[in-house]
Amino acid sequence: MSAFADQLLVLVMLINLVMLGTSRLVFSIRAVAVQGVILGILPGLINPFSGHLAGITAGIILAKGIVIPYLIGNAVHKAQIRREVEPFIGYVSTLLLGAVFTALSFAFAEKLPLAPEHKDLLFVPASIATLLTGFLILTTRRKAISQVIGYLVMENGIFVFGLLLTEAMPVMVEAGALLDLLVGIFVMGIVINHISREFSSIDTSRLRALKEE
């Protein structure tokens, strides 16, 4: 089974690159959703079945795969924007950077010893790569939506790592984390709406009133 898990993790990393490459917001939202679903499936592949596990799977898929994409999609719809125009750093270069970061994350994973049962899994590099991808999106994109997406990708990356410890993690904590994430995204959605209303655009590069001269 774990082989399949690895393939899924590779898929996750590919999705990262895709997201770095695309400019269409709706598309990247869908991509995040897919990532979320994959995250939902993964624990079932590496852990024996349990009620706890089922709960987690359901929760993750529900939250990351359905609710959150819906919330953001809503925001996009309200803000009536299609694509991310001229990011701070171009797509090709971000793509390259993404590739570099993925490589780096493998190096990082090498440095840190894994538990024997995780030795041959790609969890660590995948999670780090995803994290860095999220960071890349956060720092290079202009649109508020894209930044939310970046944040989500980061979260996904963290979850990927979290999957190593699913049974270690008490339900309460995971549920709480998910819930917080949900509420966070929800609030961000609202804020984005307000932004688009205030500035008639969600181009965050315009949010520069607050600074020191």
Partner 1 sequence: MFFFLEPTAYLLTAATILAASGVPGLLLRAPLFGQRIAAFAVVIASLLGEIAVIQLLGGSPAAFYQVDWPLPFGPALFSTDHLSTIFLFPLFLVTGCVSVYSLAYWPASEQSSAGKLTFFLGLFAAAMVLVVVARNGVLFLMAWEVMALSAYFLLTTEQQSSAVQRVGTVYLLATHTGTMALFVMFSLLRSTTGTFAFPASHALAQTLPYATLIIVTALVGFGGKAGLMPLHFWLPGAHANAPSHVSAMMSGLMLKMGVYGILRTLSFFVALPVWVGWVILLLGAWSAVNGIALATGQRDLKRLLACSSIENIGIIFIGIGLALVGIQAHAPYLVVCGLSGAFIHIVNHGLFKSLLFLGSGALIHGAGTREIDRMGGLARRMPITSTLFLVGSLAICGLPPLNGFVGELFLYVGSITDGITAPLPLAALVAPVLALVGGLAVITFVKLYGIIFLGTPRSAAAAHSHEASGFMNGPMILLAICCLAAGMSPQLLVRLVTPVVGFYGDVAGDLFTQASSQVPLLPLTFVNILLVILTLIIGAVYLVRLRGSSQPRSTTWGCGYLEPTPRMQYTGTSFSELVVNLLGTIVAPRRERPVMTGVILPRKAAFHYAVTETVLDRVLSPIFHWIGLGFSYLRKLQHGQLHIYMLYIFATLFVLMIWTH
Partner 2 sequence: MLFALVLLPLIGALFAWVVPDNRLRPLTLPVVATIHLVLTALLVGNAPPPSPGGWIWLDPLGKVVLLCISLLFAVCAFYAVGYLAYRQKRSNRILCMGLLVCLSAMGLVTITQHLGLLWVALETTTVSMAPLIYFNQNARSIEATWKYLLICSVGIALALLGLLFLAYSTYVAHRDATLLLGPLMASARELNAGWFHAAAIFLLVGYGSKMGLAPLHTWKPDAYGEAPGLVGALLAGGLVNCAFLSILRVYQICLASGTEIHFFQQTLVGMGLVSMAFAAVFMAHQSDFKRMLAYSSVEHVGILAIGLGLGKGGLYGALFHLLNNGLTKGVLFLSSGNIHRSYSNKTTDVVKGALTRLPWSGGLFLAGFIAITGSPPFSPFISEYTIVSSAFIEGRHLVGWLFLLFLVIVFIGMALTVLPMVMGAPPTDTEPTDYEDRLLTVGPPFFMMAVILVLGIWPPGFLVTLLKDGAVMLGAQP
* Site residues, partner 1 (CB under 8 A): 88, 111, 135, 138-141, 147, 204-205, 207-213
- Residue 165 in the binding site for partner 2 (CB under 8 A): yes
x/- letters, 118..137, toward partner 2 (CB under 8 A) = ---------x---x------
DSSP-assigned letter for residue 203: B
In whole angstroms, give the CA distance from residue 51 to residue 119. Answer: 26
In whole angstroms, give the CA distance from residue 94 to residue 99. Answer: 9
- Residue 207 in the binding site for partner 2 (CB under 8 A): yes
Give least dist CB 195 to partner 1, A.
12
Give least dist CB 144 to partner 1, A.
9
In whole angstroms, give the CA distance from residue 129 to residue 135. Answer: 10
Stretch that binds partner 2, among 19-27, 42-50, 70-78, 148-156 (CB under 8 A): 148-156
In whole angstroms, give the CA distance from residue 154 to residue 174. Answer: 16
Binder among 73, 161, 201, 203 for partner 2 (CB under 8 A):
161
In whole angstroms, give the CA distance from residue 163 to residue 56. Answer: 10
Give least dist CB 92 to partner 2, A.
25
x/- letters, 185..204, toward partner 2 (CB under 8 A) = --xx--x--xx--xx----x
Residue in this structure with the two tokens 């607050």, named with its chain if needed = 210
Residue in this structure with the two tokens 């939902």, named with its chain if needed = 40
CA 85 → CA 38, 81, 142, distances in Å? Answer: 29, 10, 8
- Residue 48 in the binding site for partner 2 (CB under 8 A): no
